[in-house]
Amino acid sequence: MLATLNAPISENSLQVVYEYPESLSPVVTHYCPGCTHGIAHRLLAEALDELGLREKTILVAPVGCSVFAYQYFETDGCEAAHGRAPAMATGLKRVQPDKIVVTYQGDGDLVSIGAAEILHAAARGENITTIFVNNAIYGMTGGQMAPTTLPGQKTTSSPFGRNTTMTGSPIRMSELLANLDGPAYIVRRSLHDVKNIRKAKKAIITALKVQMAGLGFSMVELLSSCPTNWGIQPEKALEWIEDNMVPYFPLGDYKVRDEVNGL
Amino acid sequence: MAKGTVVINQDRCKGCGLCPTVCPQNVIFMADDVLNAKGYHPATLVDLDEQCTGCAICAVICPDVCITVYRETPAKKHAPVLA
């Protein structure tokens, strides 16, 4: 498959300006067409490539759509129980402090069942990096309401739209964790257009640098789409992020310690 | 303007249709008459007038990393274009 990617081009003057990242396995992912998990995977792989971290990274995969994430990266990886990726990452990092430990979690995993684990890992200031993919729905299990589902949003378990009097309001996790003293770097980015994807990549690189410098917990929240379970086309799903999710989950830097700016 | 081209790995493509929406030169289309092994209509480059500049915007949006981008005069040699 990679042979096809790197097929020689007849004109010698052409140079490669973009090719498949080394840290990404040459397999086809199981994600639905247009799912931004693929973009998030690619950004993380490119960040690992640019910082030269591939050989010393341990990726902790979650439960959710990204449950097979350890197969998609050419790094070491392990699978955590649902929501427990930060707990497993804590152990890995404490035993092997020279490794780069990254957890990749969705919103059902991180905000719902794993809320306690991420809160306490952040409060302890564990020196790990979390990539938090927020698509406002449970993807793998068939589109049920998640803690991040927007008010009025239709899901299979809220067919008339999320009723906030009965189910409460969506949790803004970045703001919540930014109140703690432990985290060094907490930002929210979006994957809905090229400009924001580039910003997201810069944030992931900074988050990894925070871990390399040993400054403490770092997390990048990525607003993501789920065209299948939202029931809309991939292109419209990206517009839906911009129109509906970004107003509720404002993009920005929620916690950036002074030391981080010097990195 | 710099000349470039893209090579789309049509076996990987899932036909999500995001790359044609972002292409500034409108040279990427979904191949409605082609099916790949997975049964999707893959994206394809139709660039008869050599309008592709190798800007790599399609590669930035592609969720399945199907696109390799080539350019005649890259801004910085070997520098990662997405940084």
pLDDT tens, A88-119? 999 999 999 999 999 999 999 999 999 999 99
A113 touches chain B (CB under 8 A): no
pLDDT by residue (tens digit) across A138-150?
Answer: 999 999 999 999 9
A27 has a chain B CB within 8 A of its CB: no
Q: Which of A140, A192, A137, A141 is CA-nearest to residue A161?
A: A137
Q: How many CB pairs under 8 A join A and B?
A: 107
* pLDDT, mean over chain A: 91
Most confident segment among A14-18, B2-6, B35-39 = B35-39
Predicted pLDDT of residue A2:
44
Beta strands (DSSP E) in chain A are 15-18, 57-61, 76-79, 100-106, 129-134, 183-190, 217-223, 252-256
- In this predicted structure, the answer to whether residue A12 has a pLDDT above a threshold of 70 is no
The CA-atom distances, in angstroms, between A170 and each of A3, A15, A106, A135, A213 are 45, 47, 15, 12, 33
What average pLDDT does the segment A194-214 reach? 95
Residue A61 pLDDT grade (very low, low, confident, very high; cuts 50, 70, 90): very high
Percent of chain A with pLDDT over 70: 95
ipTM: 0.85
Closest listed residue to residue A89, CA positions, set A227, A2, A218: A218
Is B45 within 8 Å of B72 (Cβ atoms)?
A: no
Q: Which chain B residue lies closest to A20 (C-alpha atoms)?
A: B65
Q: pLDDT value at position B74?
A: 47
pLDDT at B79: 54
**Distance to chain A for B61, nearest Cα, Å:** 6
Q: Do A34 and B82 touch (CB under 8 A)?
A: no
Residue of B nearest to A8 (CA): B7
pLDDT at residue A174 is higher than 90: yes
Closest chain B C-alpha to A96 CA, distance in angstroms: 29
Residues in chain B with CB shorter than 8 Å from the CB of A4 are 9, 11
User: Which of B 3-42 lie inside 8 A of A, CB atoms?
Assistant: 4-5, 7, 9, 11-12, 14-18, 21-22, 38, 40
